[in-house]
Chain A
Amino acid sequence: MKYLALGLFLWASSVFAGVEYRQFSNDDQRETYENLISELRCLVCQNQNIADSNADLAADLRQQVYQMVQQGKTKQDIKNFMTDRYGDFVLYNPPFKTKTGLLWLAPVLLLALGLISVFVYIRNKRKQLPEPMEPEQLQKIHRLLEEDDRL
């Protein structure tokens, strides 16, 4: 009885996990499908991919991807299909173009800027190190310290 309940529970959670149950003729197609739906952005709820989104449009796009995978379309074909209609916005991994250049290069630029400012800061600090003391001053310090010991 216990095992039956557990089995039913596992079956239910795998079948009704928010996403439709799909059948594929081979594992490659399943992989393509699953990769694509996690890489395509839902346009209605913009911070979710179409795999996670419950939006009506996301369901339609999943269906569209599924049909195209079934027809034997490649991953690139399907991505092109989507960007022809919705633009690069639909990709969570946008291609490197003049328009998206800043997006891709900004992290590198900021890192470089940070490294340069750390470098400049350290060099300036080094310059500010106190000048070595005159021999007379040093002798005075030693004298004072010795006096202190004698007390």
Chain B
Amino acid sequence: MFKFAIPLLVFIALAVFLAIGLSLNPREIPSPLIGKPAPVFSAPKLHEPDATLSPVDLKGRVWLLNVWASWCISCRAEHPVLNRFAQQKKIYMVGLNYKDETSDAKNWLNQLGNPYDVSVVDQDGRIGIDWGVYGVPETFIVDKNGLIRYKHTGPVTAEDLEIKLLPLISQLQGEPV
């Protein structure tokens, strides 16, 4: 009886660990920036290259930073979701145009619609490094005190919006400054 118990227990333990391992997404690297102040930048606006935007300008409001590029294929898949989301006007949406050609970026927005309240340009990817960006598209949510509260790597789906982003946004909108 006992002879079979040990291999069985070892098997069960292995199966549990492997099942956990299989259910994890290796692309999803936990960001050390959650709960930390949004990294500072001062970036030129895509449509007004002479004006700049900095996270400091957005203090006191909940905002979303979506990192995108015209060369990014998954961004194309994500775009209709963002367009529909923008119509709800739940949050101030900032686009970070990452390592892109300005003309390509503008064309992209003209053709596919522009969900962003403002887009800023990160030509050399330096802002991306500060935000720990490693795979566009990425989406961050920043609270009224300028702390990063959430990061989503990869395209945001309608389901992600419904289950994760919207509840968090309404919670953050209710928080005091």
Contacts and interface: CB of A to CB of B under 8 A. Distances in A.
Interface residues of A, number: 14
A77 interface: no
B32 A43 contact: no
B32 A44 contact: no
Interface in A43-82: 43-44, 46, 56-57, 60-61, 64
* Residue of A84, A86, A89 most packed against chain B (CB within 10 A): A86
A85 B135 contact: no
Interface stretch (B47-55, B105-113, B125-133, B154-162): B125-133
A43 B33 contact: no
Contact of B33 (A46, A64, A85, A89): A85
A72 B21 CA distance: 41
A83 interface: yes
A61 B126 CA distance: 9
Contacts of A46: 26
A86 B32 CA distance: 6
Interface in A82-139: 83-87, 89
Nearest to B133: A57
B99 A85 contact: no
Nearest to B6: A117
Contact of B129 (A44, A60, A87, A89): A60
A86 B26 contact: no
Contacts of A56: 99, 125
A89 B124 CA distance: 23
Contact size range, B:
10 to 19
B24 interface: no
Contacts of B32: 83-87
A64 B124 CA distance: 11
A84 B31 CA distance: 9
B32 to A, nearest CB: 4
A86 B151 CA distance: 12
A84 B130 CA distance: 9
B31 A44 contact: no
Given A46-B26, A56-B99, A60-B125, A86 B132 contact: yes
A87 B134 contact: no
21 contacts: A43-B134, A43-B135, A44-B134, A44-B135, A46-B26, A56-B125, A57-B125, A60-B124, A60-B128, A60-B129, A85-B33, A85-B39, A85-B129, A85-B130, A85-B132, A86-B132, A86-B134, A87-B29, A87-B30, A87-B31, A89-B30
Interface of B: 26, 29-33, 39, 99, 124-125, 128-132, 134-135
Interface of A: 43-44, 46, 56-57, 60-61, 64, 83-87, 89
Given A43-B29, A86-B134, 10 more contacts: A56-B125, A60-B125, A84-B32, A85-B39, A85-B129, A85-B130, A85-B131, A86-B29, A87-B31, A87-B32
